[in-house]
């Protein structure tokens, strides 16, 4: 029988629980900040803002800037247990939000499963292979400056070490998760009205390390400009 993780184990668990994000190539982006285009004329290489792009599961490089200056972005994550609304934090994590928005618009996350969920800790998703070893084909840097503390419902990037962000992310679902060291770029927050669903997802998690006891699947992720 596996033991439930405790706060004292979090630092050690960080390497095994959350450090399995992208295992793609070593492409990095040094400074993809800025703005690009309007909603109707995004740069070449950006998925369509209206969701009309085909499904893309592999990328050759980090995308161009696909965010529009002055716009705020919200992710609508439809799961088999309900829908989460996540306010994305492009002001403090522009590289991360840019990647996540483009992957979502390319339907990269659609019809995928959350391969790891630990009760009172995190739900980890974002790997189309469902193995914990997949990624989009590129990596990019951490963004810690100005990052808010983790709290339940915070959404952050999983990684396998400094500056190895890819596609995998986790939702903090319990108090043990809020005690993680600030080594994972926080880029969103589930709205307060949906924290009950976060609690429900946590209840589906594994008491130890591993996949959820009941599947947690992402049906789709869409992006709203607010």
**In the chain, where the domains are located:** 7-31+55-225
pLDDT > 90? residue 18: no
- The residue written with tokens 């529009």 in the block is 68
CATH class of 7-31+55-225: mainly beta
Helices and strands of the chain, counted as H and E runs: 4, 9
- Residue of 207, 16, 187, 211 lying closest to 121 (CA atoms): 207
Write out the H or E segment, with its range, that includes residue 196: helix 195-203
Nearest CA among 104, 103, 180 for reference residue 144: 180
What's this model's pTM, rounded to 2 decimal places? 0.83
Query: Tens of pLDDT along 53-105?
Result: 999 999 999 999 999 999 999 999 999 999 999 999 999 999 999 999 999 99
218 pLDDT higher than 70? yes
Give per-residue pLDDT as tens, 130-172: 999 999 999 999 999 999 999 999 999 999 999 999 999 999 9
Per-residue pLDDT for 213 more than 90? yes
Q: Which two tokens stand for residue 177?
A: 């998760």
The enclosing H or E element of 104 equals helix 94-105
Q: SS3 of 159, please?
A: coil
């Amino acid at each position: 029988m596996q033991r439930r993780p405790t706060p004292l184990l979090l630092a050690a668990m960080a390497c095994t629980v959350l450090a399995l994000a992208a295992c793609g190539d070593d492409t990095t982006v040094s400074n993809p900040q800025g703005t690009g285009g309007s909603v109707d004329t995004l740069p070449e290489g950006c998925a369509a803002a209206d969701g009309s792009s085909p499904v893309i599961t592999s990328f050759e490089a980090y995308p161009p800037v696909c965010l529009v200056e002055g716009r705020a972005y919200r992710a609508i994550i439809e799961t088999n247990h309900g829908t989460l609304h996540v306010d994305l934090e492009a002001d403090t994590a522009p590289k991360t939000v840019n990647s996540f928005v483009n992957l979502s618009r390319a339907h990269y996350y659609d019809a995928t499963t959350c391969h790891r969920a630990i009760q009172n800790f995190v739900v980890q998703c974002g790997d189309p292979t469902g193995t914990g070893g997949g990624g989009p084909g590129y990596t990019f840097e951490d963004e810690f400056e100005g990052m808010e503390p983790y709290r339940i419902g915070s959404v952050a990037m999983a990684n396998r070490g400094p500056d190895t962000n890819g596609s995998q992310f986790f939702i903090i679902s319990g108090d043990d998760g809020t005690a993680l060291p600030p080594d994972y770029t926080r880029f969103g927050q589930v709205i307060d009205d949906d924290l009950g669903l976060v609690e429900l997802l946590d209840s589906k998690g594994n008491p130890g390390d591993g996949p959820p006891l009941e599947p947690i699947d992402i049906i789709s992720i869409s992006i709203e400009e607010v």
